[in-house]
Structure 1
């Protein structure tokens, strides 16, 4: 059964910003002739790697909401230059929007059971074509 990770998306204030950051890194890799691979480095190493790699995703919390996810492709542990053990979360570069759900701030990452994960937003969802800020405002007003 798939298990997911939940993590704050530090530095991005919207899904569009996250997607632009990924696209920029991919373009820079292409320009330098290197194959692009999106790896997010975290200090803690998940112990349940088999469950995470069995269809798991990294769910991003953006501006206090679980807003998007990226499929986990691999987990790579390594020791950095300071001798600290770290984990590289290898992610599919495609960002999938999910039904927004409030989330309180936390440090690091948390496991997220498959049954607790928000559903993906389909292209036919009512707010799928709206700008993120407008969609958030309409949700806050209880109109979506």
Structure 2
């Protein structure tokens, strides 16, 4: 229940953070670089407001991300992977045994056909592998 609520808040914060970052100017100087007295309605004041909102939403984003990680880790930590495996049911005598062939049924469909094996050629002579090698050229 708590994870669902936190995840919903997290998604809302993510969408708001994306919107605030996209509203900022792309000329740089954001995130509190520089400063000075400025009014709220000036371009500089609007930039400062968006910068503060970005910092606040970014902080909330990281805090909720950390909380979600910790809570989901504790929820899944109740069972170990080894505890979930049924180790007692494994018979060590059957582990390295070859696979038993399936019983043949005369009414069963025939196995699927496979593609023919490609003929491999020697890259130096161009002859098929297994064919007699061509005599080497002689220089007069």
On whether the aligned pair clears a TM of 0.5, the verdict is no
* TM-score, scaled relative to structure 2: 0.23
Query: How does the TM-score come out when normalised to structure 1?
Result: 0.23
Between structures 1 and 2, the one with greater helix share? 2
Instruction: Report which structure shows greater RCO (CA 8 Å, sep ≥6).
Output: 1
